[in-house]
Amino acid sequence: MNNSTDIEFPVELGCLGSIPRAELFSGQTAIESMPVLSRHCGGAQLFVKRDDCTGLAFGGNKVRQLEFYLGEARKQNADTVLITGAVQSNFVRMATAGAAKLGMECHVQLEARVATDSPRYHDSGNLFLDKLLGAHLYFYPEGEDEAGADRKLSEIAADLRSAGRKTYIIPLAPGHAPLGALGYVVTAHELLGQLNEMQLDIDEIVVGSGSGGTHSGLLFGLRALASDIRVTGVCVRRYADRQVLRIRESCEQIAGLLKTEPTVTDNDIVLIDDFLAPGYGVLNPATLDAIMLGAQTEGLMLDPVYTGKTFAALISRAKSIDIERSILFLHTGGLPTLFAYRDEIVQALENNEKRAT
DSSP 8-28: ---GGGTTGGGSEE--S--S-
C-beta separation of 98 from 24 below 8 A: yes
33 part of the active site: no
Long-range contacts for 102-105 (Cβ within 8 Å, ≥24 apart)? 102/1, 102/22, 102/70, 102/73, 102/74, 103/79, 104/70, 104/73, 104/78, 104/79, 104/80, 105/79, 105/80, 105/81, 105/134, 105/136, 105/165
Pairing of strands 31-33, 105-111: unpaired
Identify the active-site residue in 4, 38, 89, 326: 89
Does the CA dihedral 318-322-324-325 come out positive or negative? negative
Residues 6+ apart with CB under 8 A from 215: 184, 207, 208, 209, 231, 233, 247
**By C-alpha distance, which of 280, 327, 268 is closest to 308?**
280
Q: For residue 340, give Cα distances in angstroms to 42, 71, 284.
A: 33, 31, 16
Separation CA 17–CA 3 (nearest Å): 7
Q: Is 111 helix (H, G, I), strand (E, B) or coil?
A: strand
CA-based radius of gyration for the chain: 20
Q: Is 123 helix (H, G, I), strand (E, B) or coil?
A: helix
DSSP 82-110: EEEEETT-HHHHHHHHHHHHTT-EEEEEE
List the beta bridge partners of residue 330: 49
**By C-alpha distance, which of 231, 232, 308 is closest to 275?**
308
Q: Which residues are catalytic?
A: 89
